[in-house]
Amino acid sequence: MTQVLVHLRLFAVFRDTLGADLIPVELPAGSTVADLRQALYCRWPTLRNLLERSAIAINQEYASDNHVLSSGDEAALIPPVSGGQPFSPIP
Amino acid sequence: MTQVLVHLRLFAVFRDTLGADLIPVELPAGSTVADLRQALYCRWPTLRNLLERSAIAINQEYASDNHVLSSGDEAALIPPVSGGQPFSPIP
Amino acid sequence: MIQLTREAIDYHSISEAVRDPHHGAVVLFLGTVRDLTGEDRTLRLEYEAYEPMAKKKLQEILTQVQQQWPGAKVAIVHRLGVLDVGEVSVAVAVSTPHRAEAFAACRYVMEAIKADVPIWKKDINPEGKEQWVHPEEKTGSPATTAGSLQ
Amino acid sequence: MIQLTREAIDYHSISEAVRDPHHGAVVLFLGTVRDLTGEDRTLRLEYEAYEPMAKKKLQEILTQVQQQWPGAKVAIVHRLGVLDVGEVSVAVAVSTPHRAEAFAACRYVMEAIKADVPIWKKDINPEGKEQWVHPEEKTGSPATTAGSLQ
């Protein structure tokens, strides 16, 4: 198998902007989260700034860039959460 | 007038121990809160430790030792308040 | 809003009272009667206040909160009399636009109450032994409240 | 206790749920929908979650609280869907033996929710303009959560 297929969930601004809540992404086998990011930058260049500020979750866990993708992974694009005012340090 | 008469309110451990909730205290005119304290130490020597840890309020305000008493002042002996665990600094 | 009461505290109504459409945060603190302090068991607590001075001091605390967090809405209710384990002895509700100030202001009020408001508690243990709780720290001493004394 | 709900939050029952005879302190935080952010008016907010991951993250927060404050009782309820101004979007109740930990743990939970739990809000203003609120900080980035990543 030379391809890996991940299903990418979209939320909030991404779902509204792209008009879908789940999109399939095909990548070469051995691809990492960093490669997935690159693929998204190429696919949606106008969303790059927001993509850069978003996290990627794999199987409901925040994933680092060097995480290697497997076929069937549940991937999700997590834009910045609502936050409220800038966080002050926890006393 | 060479005397000042204050009415001293007692609460909590003082009221229970002394069996009264208001006692008159006569002091020389011009006496201060420090003089009132001394009078209480002399009157109730066994309570000295607790008296030293207690505040004195004059007319419902915490009073410093150099506060000069007036006849008719409402004085109160304020033992340490309930507190709970030792105070941590307010963040 | 300030209240000393001998009835059970309706803390739900207190937190409702401070809600405000401009405020995104409410913090409610409840002090409740604990059955254990270290290894010592408590059956009941009895709270007593020097009532007019306690109200005056609570009012001063509200003023201090308004100086530090202008516009904060604050409600303080303290119970007096005999309380069983589990009952609410004090409730403080604060609302502010953002959460950091609501936490800070509510904490401030509680520390100020415990430091300066003439309210005392007597601990009654299951054997019927009664003991006033008067911690080692001195209350309202010039050292801690000098700023407001002279 | 953790809940994501589309119904109005019964926060009174949440604070009741964490009460405990060994615990002398309860802190309840309510996040409510504010009508103003700076000069921008809000008519409604719509909350959306990546539900299974949000529940998992909330459960992790409970675990972290147990590690830092063993024995603390914690309840977290977050509302989803459309909320009017003044409605409660999130309620967090914590009880501990003493007040300092109850404040600290409740604050910790709120900061962790805002930093790491995939729940978003869309602001709807009185003119009908809708805008997702995605602050500049990056969520769940390796920089802020590196410890749990590798």
Tell me the ipTM for this assembly.
0.89
| Sequence-separated (6 or more) residues with CB below 8 Å from residue A91 | B91, D104, D107
CATH (domain of A27): 3.10.20.30
Number of domains chain C contains? 1
CA dihedral A25, A28, A32, A34 (to 10 degrees): -70
> For an interface test with D, which of B82, B85, B87, B90 has the most D Cβ atoms less than 10 Å from its Cβ?
B85
CATH (domain of D118): 3.90.1170.40
- Is 50 exceeded by the pLDDT of residue C141? no
Q: What are phi and psi of B82, to 5 degrees?
A: -60, -35
Region class of C148: left (phi > 0), else alpha (psi between -120 and 50), else beta: alpha
How does the average pLDDT of chain D come out, rounded? 90
Give the residue-averaged pLDDT of C57-70.
97
In a domain, B54, yes or no: yes
Whose tokens are 């809160």? That residue is: B33
In a domain, D44, yes or no: yes
Q: What is the pLDDT of residue A64?
A: 95
Amino acid at A54: S
Inter-chain CB pairs, A–C, below 8 Å = 7
In a domain, C44, yes or no: yes
- N residues, chain D: 150
Q: What is the pLDDT of residue C135?
A: 79
Give the chain A residue nearest C98 (alpha carbons). Answer: A85
> In Å, how far is A12's CA from the nearest CA of chain C?
21
Query: Could you count the other beta carbons within 10 Å of the beta carbon of residue C22?
Result: 15
Alpha-carbon distance of B61 to B76, in angstroms, equals 9
Q: Where do the DSSP E strands lie in D9-133?
A: 25-32, 36-37, 40-41, 44-49, 73-79, 81-84, 88-96, 119-124, 130-133
Give the residue-averaged pLDDT of B63-68.
96
- Is 50 exceeded by the pLDDT of residue D142? no
In a domain, D68, yes or no: yes
Amino acid at C61: I
Alpha-carbon distance of B34 to C38, in angstroms, equals 37
Name which of B52, B65, B82 is nearest C119 (Cβ-Cβ).
B82
In a domain, C143, yes or no: no
DSSP state of C127: T
Confidence of residue D137 (pLDDT cuts 50, 70, 90): low
In a domain, A58, yes or no: yes
- Contact status, residue D25 vs residue C29, Cβ threshold 8 Å: yes
Better-predicted residue by pLDDT, D96 or A84: D96
Could you read off the pLDDT of D57-90 as tens digits, one per residue?
999 999 999 999 999 999 999 999 999 999 999 9
Whole domain around residue C69: which residue ranges? Answer: 1-131
A43-47, B8-12, B41-45, C145-149, range with the lowest pLDDT? C145-149
Confidence of residue A86 (pLDDT cuts 50, 70, 90): very low
In a domain, B87, yes or no: no
Q: What percentage of chain B's residues is helix, strand, coil (to nearest 5)?
A: 30, 30, 40
> In Å, how far is A8's CA from the nearest CA of chain D?
12
In a domain, C80, yes or no: yes
Give the chain A residue nearest C97 (alpha carbons). Answer: A85
In a domain, A87, yes or no: no
Give the chain B residue nearest D97 (alpha carbons). Answer: B85
Chain centroid, CA A78 distance in Å: 6
Which chain C residues contact residue B80 at CB under 8 A?
A: 134-139
Whole domain around residue B53: which residue ranges? Answer: 3-78
| Sequence-separated (6 or more) residues with CB below 8 Å from residue C72 | C65, C66, C94, C95, C96, C101, C102, C105
> SS3 for D65?
helix
Number of domains chain B contains? 1
- N residues, chain C: 150
> And the tokens for A68?
């290697």
- Is 80 exceeded by the pLDDT of residue B18? yes
In a domain, C145, yes or no: no
Q: Is A84 exposed, middle or buried (0-12, 13-18, 19+ CB in 10 A)?
A: buried
Contact C136 B12 (CB under 8 A): no
In a domain, D52, yes or no: yes
Q: Is B72 exposed, middle or buried (0-12, 13-18, 19+ CB in 10 A)?
A: exposed
In a domain, C17, yes or no: yes
- Contact status, residue D35 vs residue D41, Cβ threshold 8 Å: yes
Q: What is the pLDDT of residue A83?
A: 58
Q: What is the pLDDT of residue C137?
A: 54
Give the residue-averaged pLDDT of B44-70.
96
